[in-house]
Structure 1
Amino acid sequence: MDASTRVKDLTNRYGALEGVPLLSAMHGVFGGRIALLSSFGAESAVLLALAAEATPDFPVLFVNTGKLFGETLRYRDQLVKRLGLTDVREIGPTADDLATADKDGMLFKRDFDACCRLRKTVPLDRALAAAGLDAWVTGRKRFQAATRAALPLFEAEAGRIKVNPLANWDKDRLEEEFIRRDLPRHPLEADGFLSIGCYTCTERVAPGADPRSGRWAGSAKTECGIHTMIGNAR
């Protein structure tokens, strides 16, 4: 069955699930052909903890752009050890990619979209294809931004299924889960960084502002492209 038909089937069969039960079900449905994408950002610990509870060997894809905060890399190592994750796969742009498209490392100053495509979208698209994945899991939530307000539990994209186990979770529920599981926070969160990407394009968020307003501040850009350009990245 094609991806769109499968979304309808999954929604009918598993649409009442979320969190650990949904991740466990999807791991069973897709077997070794599903992976979780994580930025190891401000809210990432909850989804990673749920995946580890579902099964510690739940594959996790981590896109290292080469321009991440050092705090993010250390937080990744802390969470992997704390949660007992056993299959975290680091992906990113190749040396050839960078030599061809961003020789001076300053592409972000010239073109946000091109930089995100080079350092995030292309590596992820390549990894999804190389691993033969039929589905991948995201940590997106409806409350995060107006562009995500209608986020469904399952999506069809480029012939694959995207699963959003926390789509309906709100900020309060996330906070409760952080506390209940005693999860460590990203070290930059206390300093006002509420949505954390590359250090080149991430700023502190003003009190009460959209949590993603610190990303690509001063531009109309709201998404890195991973959730809008996959399948068109090559």
Structure 2
Amino acid sequence: MYEAVIAELNHLDGPESLAPLVTDLFCGNIALVSSFGAESAVLLHMAASIDRSLPVITLDTGKLFSETIAYRAQLTALLGLTDLRVVTPQADVLRVLDGAGSLHRRDPDRCCHIRKVLPLENALTGFKAWISGRKRYHGGLRADVPTLEETDGRLKIDPLARFTRRQIEAYLDYYDLPRHPLLEKGYHSIGCAPCTVQCGSADNPRAGRWSGLSKMECGIHRSPIASRNSAPSAS
């Protein structure tokens, strides 16, 4: 469906990639998904420079660091974002499947599914394209991430996929963007508080996520079709 768009824009990165997608090709039908994590300020700044009214979807799992919530408010105000959509898990699903709030300890994949994957699928309903901040230098399953791809009928855009760590740092410095407050405490990649530790390095920033487990991703970057087929029920 989107082969022509991919062929035309696949060689572009950063704002050069975003601008035609946000203001023309998918105007009104595109959203940015942000964790407001360690490097989120770069992509959010790029998007706000193009269109501050671009819908920004963020997942509040109920397990976030207080510092992330404060950072979200800081960046939203600083960048003038006018359509921030804070998405939360369904209360009835949490009540049935994670009433004690401890599911992350015994089944982290299922916890991510009900707190991240399902809420994001609902939030993306009606959009034809979405933007994420994955980068190849993070390694693992992200080492070959494309800048543009079609996933379950939507165009998925990763305008920072080919950016290096130095480019990210240079962008933050050039625009004097605030860093996530947990960076100075030794966190290199920041997710939910129970599943993120002070670990990792500049070359392997995601080492602190689900440390000690084989798990590398929360699941939102897998096919939405597969996610729906395995969706848990609260009934």
| TM-score bracket, shorter-length normalisation | over 0.9
Aligned to 2:132: 138
> How does the TM-score come out when normalised to structure 1?
0.94
Identity of aligned residues (%): 45
Tell me whether 1:84 sits opposite 2:73 in the alignment.
no
Mapped to 2, the partners of 1:206 and 1:18 lie a distance apart of: 26
Q: 1:162 aligns with which of 156, 166, 174?
A: 156
**What letter is aligned with 1:161?**
L
Tell me whether 1:118 sits opposite 2:114 in the alignment.
yes
**2:197–2:208 contact (8 Å) kept in structure 1:** yes
Aligned to 1:49: 45
> How does the TM-score come out when normalised to structure 2?
0.93
Mapped to 2, the partners of 1:229 and 1:110 lie a distance apart of: 24
TM-superposed CA distance for 1:230, in Å, is 2.4
Q: Could you say what secondary structure the match of 1:226 adopts?
A: coil
**1:42–1:196 contact (8 Å) kept in structure 2:** yes
**What letter is aligned with 2:9?**
Y
Q: 2:5 aligns with which of 7, 10, 15?
A: 10
TM-superposed CA distance for 1:207, in Å, is 4.4
TM-superposed CA distance for 1:14, in Å, is 1.3
TM-superposed CA distance for 1:21, in Å, is 2.2
TM-superposed CA distance for 1:209, in Å, is 5.8
Sort the Cα spacing of 1:31 and 1:136 in 2 relative to 1 into closer, same or farther, 3 A: same
Mapped to 2, the partners of 1:209 and 1:20 lie a distance apart of: 24
Tell me whether 1:218 sits opposite 2:207 in the alignment.
no
Mapped to 2, the partners of 1:112 and 1:230 lie a distance apart of: 18
* Bigger shift: residues 151-160 or 42-51: 151-160
Sort the Cα spacing of 1:206 and 1:93 in 2 relative to 1 into closer, same or farther, 3 A: closer
Tell me whether 1:199 sits opposite 2:193 in the alignment.
yes
* Bigger shift: residues 208-217 or 95-104: 208-217
TM-superposed CA distance for 1:146, in Å, is 2.7
Q: 1:62 aligns with which of 58, 62, 68?
A: 58
Mapped to 1, the partners of 2:146 and 2:43 lie a distance apart of: 17
Tell me, which stretches of 5 or more residues in structure 1 are unaligned?
none
- Residues 135-171 of structure 1, C-alpha deviations (whole Å, 9 max, x = no match): 1000000001232111111111111110000010000
**1:57–1:87 contact (8 Å) kept in structure 2:** yes
Mapped to 1, the partners of 2:189 and 2:105 lie a distance apart of: 20
* Bigger shift: residues 222-231 or 160-169: 222-231
Q: 2:70 aligns with which of 74, 89, 92?
A: 74
**1:21–1:54 contact (8 Å) kept in structure 2:** no
Q: 2:181 aligns with which of 170, 181, 187?
A: 187
**What letter is aligned with 2:133?**
G
**What letter is aligned with 1:12?**
A
Mapped to 2, the partners of 1:150 and 1:102 lie a distance apart of: 34
TM-superposed CA distance for 1:16, in Å, is 2.7
How many residues get paired? 227
**1:121–1:229 contact (8 Å) kept in structure 2:** no
Q: Could you say what secondary structure the match of 1:119 adopts?
A: helix
Mapped to 1, the partners of 2:46 and 2:224 lie a distance apart of: 25
Structure 1 residue ranges (4+ consecutive) displaced by more than 6 angstroms after TM superposition? none
Mapped to 1, the partners of 2:41 and 2:202 lie a distance apart of: 22
Aligned to 1:22: 17
Q: Could you say what secondary structure the match of 2:195 adopts?
A: coil
